[in-house]
Structure 1
Amino acid sequence: MRAPSLRRRMACWLYEGTLLFGVVVLPGLIFGMLTNTRHALDNRHGLQALIFGVLALYFGYFWTKGQTLPMKTWHIRMVDRAGQPVRWPRALLRYLLAWLWFLPPLAAMAPFKLSTGEVTVLMLGWIVLWALLSRFQRDQQFWHDAWAGTRLIDVQPDLARRRQ
């Protein structure tokens, strides 16, 4: 079982981010209506906790099935180290560790008043660095996968069989 290319993993990651807008917008809208939120900063910690939980359920559910929709599109499947389907505890551990894509730059910029451009450069720079660090991991897996005991594998259909 070989790992998908970094390019395919990052394309899947970008597609996932786009899809997640649809996943979080409805719970966010319902939360805003139920709490009568009139300003974006009102109740933001409650909304952040709700979105964190919604995303944990989304990823946990689909990862225990093996793939999210973007993973199916890019022919990527998630398994444990033994090649078996992932169970809920491991999926949730991977979800928590996956926040390493975002938390270090967010924590680094918290004490500073940075412009939008500076925040963008810092965030994108960290994401690129974190993705490139997978090259130094033995199976070229992302580090949060290595630490969670999961692997992304290539399930691309064999083109030679499809031609027959």
Structure 2
Amino acid sequence: MDFNKIKEMGLEYAEKGRNAAMDLAERGRTQAKIVSEQTKLARAQRQLGALVYSLAKGNEENQPLVDKYIEMIGSIEADLNALKESLGPAAEVITHDLDEEPAEDSGITIEPTVEKDKKPDTDKKTCPQCGAPVSEDALFCNRCGAQL
């Protein structure tokens, strides 16, 4: 073989390697987005459950607010499905269940969370519409239903 032929083959393999690396990087970014959307979905579902429970406990109704949560959850699920489909049918999708404990032999340990620099109660998040106090991760105000 002559030098030019070897050089040409090397450049071809380098290009194939670069394309494969870029594809893997894009798949990794998509997997990270999927985990982020799964986290967002789990949070929204928990908030909807807490809202329904508090409304039922107080013998109250706020169907428009419940409907907003359901619509938002549907939107998150659609985004999640689109991301999964973008990986292709043969791709393995990493799922992340926030409530599930890892298996003992998985090598994953869960450290207890410690609140650092906890803000005083005076710095709690409030609804911009009605001023009601809301939790830090709330997506809608429980009093007036405004999107946060």
Considering only CA atoms, is the larger Rg found in Structure 1 or Structure 2? 2
Q: Which has the higher helix share?
A: 1
Q: What TM-score results when the alignment is normalised by the length of structure 2?
A: 0.25
Structure showing greater relative contact order (alpha-carbon pairs closer than 8 Å, 6 or more residues apart): 1
Q: What TM-score results when the alignment is normalised by the length of structure 1?
A: 0.23
